[in-house]
Structure 1
């Protein structure tokens, strides 16, 4: 009988796969010895496998280059990384090795850009695309970047007053883009996007605020839909509407030369994942060329903003199963030594699926289980609704430790979870390991951040040290700021 966990995987999926294989009854991920990682650093832990960031960037570049050659596309392709997916320095350093550009979403992003420029990591001619709803500090930081000579900083206009706000602080002429408020799928909570300017309003907006404005030049039209890039009627319909706006705008705006199709490439969330990236890219390039030819305008340079696709598949989390609770005849709860709410918040917030596999004991018999976190919150679990199918793991045995890994978790989880700060029920942030390859191709590891200690959390909460005595001047200043 096929009763072992490895039998279950072999009869359910094609296994091994490019990034997963088994060696000595232990799972390897991109040939990383996960068992040795656990023995060295313990669990729980999170890790980032840096080479996968470069790998995905260059995969996308290859797909677009191949499609442009095939269709004799006369424009260029520019790969942008949207920093909100992961702001960590090690992520940006790895991504920028590949001659890419950056997309920002808030004021402090610009401080990161300036830091990268000072260290020579970001080139002076790199594009910096500034998305998001822009208020005072963001406007000021964008203007400072442009005034200091970074002319390829392009604010993407999100609302009608941003051009005036930028004009007040930017010295001289500057380039801008416009974001389309695309219509989301009817099943989406909101039918239209809260971001950008409506399809029908873009040409009038250009004529009223930009066409005769000597200080600004429109360079880019930005298109993005929340559900991402997929081969379905909805996506192709929205792309067609976007291209119609682009060609109409191009006919009256000679400076317009770039189309930003945003991001939204899915990442692998199951061993059964199947997405034809190359076909999708080929069809996008083809549709842009055909539409521009029909309307008699030059094709644009194509920009993408891949965030999750860039960094998501580089991340992993490893936990130990501490105990099994038999709650009734059907429910077996395997309790992990951390929390899903705090370390993988997307599993709790949006029922996000990740690849989940045991690290060891693949040749043991298996059972159907639910996974529970350490917090006292009833929502701290991961079950078959998040998983593609029911969750099966090697049978729990109190004398045989079981470790489980979640893979492709590298995007958003730290920022949404409040990395380094307070966590629900004061569950500490796990240690974080950086994994790389040396010049000879050998795997190297280093501790990026140790697991939070009680002292770290107590200091945040005000217990760690006595507050400094305030002077009368400090109190008055704080009162004035509060009044403002």
Structure 2
């Protein structure tokens, strides 16, 4: 039995249920491959983060890192939960606008925002733009001058902390494409440029040390670094940070081997670190922002596939192929991400074999789960990958000219299609004949 499956995840028929809806039913109704989200789990994750801040008595924002999964419906849910959100592209910003998400609760990230993206942000009066480099300071200055506008900004810094995570998703170390370095004086120079421009309202500082982090010490260190920087800026420039944004990256359970702390406990540790520093240095406690993405939607997501072909070789692990793969979840191929899987109609069944669960794409690396424990299975069975809500659909592609899957939200026993399955026509609608 997979320990990630709880009794409440199984209905009276013995089938996996998602948001109270039978997974086998969803596969039949919407076809596979299919991405399904349990909306109640999403709401509960946001509420758990907010509860910690309320208990600690500090001003805060829980900002959903929408690069984890972006669509009209998720921004609507975030708005209903009173969450902030961060976007990293014109496309994400456009989607949030069309969803009716309040622009004053949007922060705009990115290490190479284009002029048109920054203009869109200014025109729509986003809550804050996260300045990432000197080019961006100059470019946004020009835009604000041309438009006779003002906007709130924060500086992103690299705190010099290398999180214990995959090297491709470490972002807080000195040698990073993101943010202003502290040790070299870049951050000080950036602050000087921002404070010298009356069109900027400088509200605080941001850092992000990486993703899928299990060790709370990295976040405590990040909180301390930002406090030290804030103290330094107050002493040197007389500038008081209103906001310390410690980013996100809280780890989740993808397999039974993953044993992260509850995500809200990371936040409690961060808050306590900042409150302690401020008390010792007689500083007011600033607003504390976090930016969870994976921790909000990751555990709430499920990928449903139908089993097709099988290859058995004596002395080797068998290959069981499904109708999706790296086109809808590139993470295993990209950085060896690991997942768990169950059969939709018997999620509590004990495994009888280990197989390589592979996709249909023309790459030998299209392996969703190596040595995947499964009960007896056959073509037509629906297999479900667990905790796939983050960076699966958002990184999906049309490789091999395969359409991207549909996305369904399930809540309180009701299912709702929120992204249509792409058609073959969708694949060629932007093509032009030569």
Tell me the TM-score normalized by structure 2.
Answer: 0.87
Task: Quote the residue 1:247 is aligned against.
Answer: 231
Shift of 1:266: 1.9
Alpha-carbon distance change, 458 to 165 in structure 1, aligned in 2, over 3 angstroms? closer
Shift of 1:257: 0.7
User: Aligned runs of 1:286-435 on 2, under 5 Å?
Assistant: 286-336=272-322, 338-361=323-346, 363=349, 366-384=352-370, 390-397=371-378, 401-418=380-397, 423-435=398-410
Q: Name the SS for the 1:302 alignment partner.
A: strand
CA distance in 1: counterparts of 2:266 and 2:97, whole angstroms: 35
1:26 aligns with 2:11: no
Q: Name the SS for the 1:343 alignment partner.
A: coil
Shift of 1:16: 5.3
Deviations 1:151-189 (A, max 9, x none): xx2211111233332222222443221101233528836
Shift of 1:295: 2.2
Shift of 1:219: 0.8
CA distance in 2: counterparts of 1:216 and 1:364, whole angstroms: 60
Unmatched runs of 5 consecutive residues or more in structure 1: 1-8, 70-74, 385-389, 438-442, 468-484
CA contact (8 A) 2:226 2:244 kept: no
Correspondent of 1:84 among 67, 72, 82: 67
Deviations 1:26-52 (A, max 9, x none): 223343211222333333322233332
1:59 aligns with 2:40: no
1:444 aligns with 2:401: no
Task: Quote the residue 2:176 is aligned against.
Answer: 193
Q: Count how many residue pairs are aligned between Structure 1 and Structure 2.
A: 420
CA contact (8 A) 1:324 1:396 kept: no
Shift of 1:414: 2.1
Task: Quote the residue 2:109 is aligned against.
Answer: 131
CA distance in 1: counterparts of 2:316 and 2:306, whole angstroms: 22
Unmatched runs of 5 consecutive residues or more in structure 2: none
Across the aligned residues of Structure 1 and Structure 2, the Cα RMSD in angstroms comes to: 2.7
Correspondent of 2:153 among 173, 176, 191: 176
Tell me the TM-score normalized by structure 1.
Answer: 0.78
1:160 aligns with 2:139: no
CA distance in 2: counterparts of 1:286 and 1:26, whole angstroms: 42
CA contact (8 A) 1:82 1:102 kept: yes
CA distance in 2: counterparts of 1:353 and 1:314, whole angstroms: 16
User: Aligned runs of 1:144-155 on 2, under 5 Å?
Assistant: 144-146=123-125, 153-155=127-129
Task: Quote the residue 2:425 is aligned against.
Answer: 455
Q: Name the SS for the 1:370 alignment partner.
A: strand
